[in-house]
Each structure stands twice: as structure tokens, then as C-alpha cells.
Structure 1
């Protein structure tokens, strides 16, 4: 029982960052109909921006996090304006090739700038973990959980409680009608891609200090983001958040009770089952963003 409780706590911490990845991807995929193959690279960019701010520039750890998120937002806006906007209206194959190329370029850029040696991000938290009964949790991981839940809450509020969110949901349902009603669809697309990119960067910035930072770290994260979107249902932000925690739970229980070597495999086995029996996703609802 003690081991199970520890795994459940670990699930909460990991699931928060997975949810950020999934929400960012489902927003872009749902509103823009773009398969974003730069999502993992932007996750890596967020981690490196966190490293650069803390280790290289000496910025306060807590101030470095919003800097990394802002950097991801700006990267995302630049990708949409420079690469996606000129190809709007093109077939999906062309857009996919552009995004694959952009993802490779971002990964190669981080490798060229920072080298292939893994980097560690200094943490201001004590190394002695918090001990509550049989459960042991590091203070850094608690901060990661709190920050992830806060960002998920802010994203949900933005989508469901603001005019920008209303415009995003209108563009998802029918972009042509939204444009006729006065919605600047071009601006909404840029804002959507920037928001999704900033969430990917936030996940990288939060997990970077927990593990290490290296140029290829986004590859597996991108696969997991797609898996979460499949679990939650296309365009369902709540489903993406829940899907992130489901994937984290599968990985934790698989690593704890089967083998640590099968951590990633257990999550993808769930994805295969979902695709076989409910391909629209566990929480799919017709025409939904939010």
C-alpha cells in the first residue's frame, strides 16, 4: 500500500506536465488543423531557456520560469507567422513537411548552440525531501506540480472566460463564419499556436530541473503529447488534461509493478487499446474546444 501511494503521488507530479503538453497540442490540432511536429522541439527549447536563464545568466529560478514560457510563446508566434501563414490553404502533406523541417531545424539549432552534453539546471530547493508518513516527495517536484496545475487553470480560464477564448472556440467550430462575425482568424491562429507552444515550453522548463536537459529530449515528449491527444479526444482541453494524468498513471504503475524498462511501453499499450475500441478518444465530444 505504501508503494502504491508513492506511485500515485508521482503520477500527480508527472501528469501535470504531461497535461500541459497535451493541452498545447490539442489546441493547435483542433483549431488550426495542423499536425505540430515542432511540439517536442519547443519542449526542448523551454528547458534550454530555463537552463540559460538560471545557469548562464544567473536569473532567479522563479523568474526564469515565466521567461522560458514567454520565450516559447515568441518562438511559436514566429513559427506560425513565418512558416505556417504562407502555406495556409495548402494541403495537409505540405504543412506536415514544413513542420517536420521546422522541428528538425530547432533540434539541430539547440545541438549546435549548446552541444550534445546534457546540462543540469540548478534548483533552489533543499535536497532533503518532504516526508509525509511513508511518502517521500522532493520539494522541487511539489513546485512542479503546483506550477503545472496553476498553468492548466489559467489556460482553462483563458479559453472559457475571455473574449480571446470565445474567438478561439468560434474559429474551431467554423472559421469562415467566425470571420464573417468579425473574428480576426489570422490573429487567432497566431495566438493559438503561440499559446500551445508556450505550454510545451512550460512543460520542458518544469521538467528540465527534475531531470537533465539535452537536445533530443523532445522526441519522446512529442510522442507522448500525441498519445495524450488520442486519449483525451481531439479539441477537448479537459480531456487532454485528464489524458495526461492517465498516461502518467500507466507509466508509474507499469514501472513499479512490471518493470522500469517498460515505463514508456505501458502508456502506449493504452493508446493502442483506445485506438482499437474508441478511436475518437475517451472524452471526445462533437465540436468542442474547452
Structure 2
């Protein structure tokens, strides 16, 4: 039982950051119908931003997370404004090629700037574990979990309780009707893409002290983000959050009780099963945003 509780705690920590990653991707698809293949590179951008700020510029780690989020926000806004604003988003092939091109460029820029050697982001917390009864958790992982949960709550409140969130939900439900009542749909597109990109960058910055930063880390992050979106249902924000936690639980218990060598494979096996038997996602709903 102690071992099960420990796996549950580990899965909760990882699931919270997975939820951020999945929501960032699904909000872009839900509003714009754009499959953001560069999502993993924005996650990598956040990790490298944290490394550069903390390890090289000696910026406070907590401040580096805010700066990484801001960088992700700005890069996302630039991507939407420069590469997508004047494109027909219904032309799936063209948009897909654009996003794949951006992914390749970003990945190679990261390799050019940072090199191929993995970078370790210094953690401000002690390496010792904090005991909570029969389970233990490092201070770094506890901080990551609490921060991710706070961000998820703030995101939910923002979508459900603000004018910006109302505009997002209106745009999702009917773009033409949203325009009639005065919603600037183009601006919503830019803000949505920027917000989704910022959430990916925050996830990368949060996990940077736990894992290492490499130019190729975005490949696996993208795959997991798409897996989360598939689990939750395309465009379903609540489903993306639940899908993030579910994927983390599958990986954690699969690695703990079967084999850690196949940790990443377990989640994708479940994805294949979901695609076969419930292609709309496990948590699909009629209203997918909000």
C-alpha cells in the first residue's frame, strides 16, 4: 500500500504539468482548428529559458518561470501574427506544413544555440525529501505540483469568469455570431495561440530542474501533448486536464509494476486503444471549451 501511495503522489506531480501541456495544445485547436506541431518546441523553449536565466544569468529561479512564460507568450503571438494571421486556417495542408516548418526551425535553432549536450537547471530547493506519512516528495516536485495546480485553477477562472474567457467561448461556439456581437476574432486567435504557447513554456520551465534540457526533448513532449488531447477529446479543456493526469497515472504505474524501460510506451498503447474504441476521446462533451 505504501508503494501504491508513492506512485499516486508521483503521478499527481507529473499529471499537473501534463495537464498544462495538454490544455495549451487543445485550446489552440479548439479555437483555431490549428494542429500546433511546434508545441513541443515551445515546451523546450521554456526549459532552455529557465536554464539560461538561472544557470548563466543567475536570475532567481521563481522569476525565471515568469520570464519563461512571457517569452512563450510573445513567441506564440509572433507565430500567429506572422505565419497564420493571413492564412486560410481551413486549408489544413498548408497550415500543417507551416507548423511543421516552424517546429524544424525552432529545434535547429535550439541545437545551434545550446549545442547537443544536455543542460541541467539548478534547483533552489534542497535535494532531501519531505516525508508525508508513508510517502515522500522532494521540495522541487512539491513546488512544481503546487504551481501547476495554481495555474490550472487560474486558467479555469479566466475562462469561466472573465470577459476574455467569454470571448474565447463565444468564438469557439460560433465565430460569425461572435463577430456580430463585437468580438475581435483575429485578436482572440492571437491571444489564444499566445496563451497556449505560454502554458507549454511554463510546463518546460517547471520540469527543467527535474529532468534535463535537450534540443530533442520537444519531440516526446509533442507526442505526449497529442496523446493527452486524444484522451480528453479534441478541443475539450476539461478533458485535456483529466487526460494529462490519466496519462501520468498510466506511465507511473506501468513503469512501477511492469517495466520502467517502457514507461513512455504504456501511454501510447492506451492511446491506440482509445482511437480504436472511442475516437472522440474519453471525456468528450457537447461543449468542449469552458
TM range (shorter): over 0.9
CA distance in 2, matches of 1:182, 1:262: 51
Indicate whether 1:40 and 2:9 are aligned: no
Normalised to the residue count of structure 1, the TM-score between the two structures is 0.98
Q: 1 CA distance for matches of 2:89 and 2:100?
A: 18
Q: Which residue of the partner structure matches residue 176 of structure 1?
A: 176
2:9 alignment partner in structure 1: 9
Deviation at 1:3, TM superposition (A): 1.1
Match of 1:97 in 2: 97
Is 1:239–1:283's contact at 8 Å kept on the other side of the alignment? yes
- 1:169–1:288 Cα contact (<8 Å) kept: no
Q: Deviations over 1:44-96 (max 9, x none)?
A: 00000111111111111111111101110001000000111121345100000
Q: Give the corresponding residue for 1:226.
A: 226
The farther-off stretch of 74-83 and 280-289 is 280-289
The SS at the match of 2:85 is helix
TM-score (norm 2): 0.98
Unaligned runs of 5+ in 1: none
SS class of match (1:113): helix
Partner of 2:20: 20
Query: Is 1:245 aligned to 2:245, yes or no?
Result: yes
Confirm or deny: 8 A CA contact 1:43 1:218 kept in the other structure: yes
Match of 1:134 in 2: 134
**Equivalent-residue separation in structure 2 for 1:215 and 1:81 (angstroms):** 25
CA distance, structure 1, for counterparts of residue 286 and residue 161 of structure 2: 20
CA contact (8 A) 1:120 1:213 kept: yes
Cα distance, 1:274 vs structure 2:
1.2
Question: Conserved in 2, the CA contact under 8 Å of 1:119 and 1:214?
Answer: yes
Alignment root-mean-square deviation, CA: 0.9
Distance in 2 separating the partners of 1:156 and 1:75: 23
Distance 2:70 2:158 in 1: 16
Count of residue pairs the alignment pairs up: 290
What residue number does 1:264 align with? 264
Give the 3-state SS of the residue equivalent to 2:131 in structure 1: strand
Q: Which runs of 4+ in 1 moved over 6 A?
A: none
- Distance in 1, matches of 2:123 and 2:88, equals 42
1:284 aligns with 2:284: yes
Return the alpha-carbon distance in structure 1 between the equivalents of residues 50 and 229 of structure 2. 26
State the distance in 2 between where 1:132 and 1:26 align: 34
CA distance in 2, matches of 1:84, 1:103: 14
Is contact 2:123–2:140 with CA below 8 Å preserved after alignment?
A: yes
Q: Is the 8 A contact 1:173 1:288 kept in 2?
A: no
Partner residue in 1 for 2:125? 125
Q: Secondary structure of 2:86's partner?
A: helix
Query: Residue 89 and residue 255 in structure 1: after superposition, are their counterparts in 2 closer, same or farther (change >3 A)?
Result: closer
